[in-house]
Amino acid sequence: DAGGSGTSSSNSLDSYEEGYWTVNMYDAVSGGNVSSTSVIGRYTKIGRQVICSFDAFNNVSTSGLTAGNGVYFTLPFTASSTGRSVGSVQLDTVNFPNNGTMVTPTVSDSQSRAALNTSASGATDFTVKVQDFNGTSSDVVNWTLSYRTSA
């Protein structure tokens, strides 16, 4: 017993889904311009919890994307109104803005795209920008994110 006071009328699994989605990179959290680079991602949805990942987003094209804007990756489902996400990403040859030393994918409330945010000790967090990808060899090597949907 974990000491909790919660009760459950059922221990059955009401909703389980696995699938694939096309991951595109945009220069805005909604609307905006889309990169010509894409990759196929995998997801598992259990109830309202989504775990999604993709590998090898190689040679990212930033042609047509607006420098100064953040980069955002499409998600398989829209996030809940409380956003809350946790994830990890491994990047190669991406220039971290403002001396960021750690990069994490994050989802804002009710959004269908995730951003990449940098952080460092004593520094303000920043969203990775279009110009931080050099357009020739920038890679998202591995990307994993867990978040909740509203349905």
Q: pLDDT value at position 9?
A: 58
pLDDT at site 3: 53
Mean pLDDT for each 10-residue chunk of the chain (151 residues)?
54 84 94 93 96 88 90 95 85 71 87 88 80 76 91 77
> pTM of this prediction?
0.84
**For residue 51, which phi and psi values (nearest 5 degrees)?**
-120, 120
Map tokens 């949907």 to a residue. Answer: 149
Could you tell me if 110 and 80 are in contact, meaning their C-beta atoms sit under 8 angstroms apart? yes
Spatial CA neighbour of 81 closest among 59, 55, 107, 99: 107
pLDDT reported for residue 1: 44
The CA-atom distances, in angstroms, between 144 and each of 1, 48, 100 are 31, 17, 19
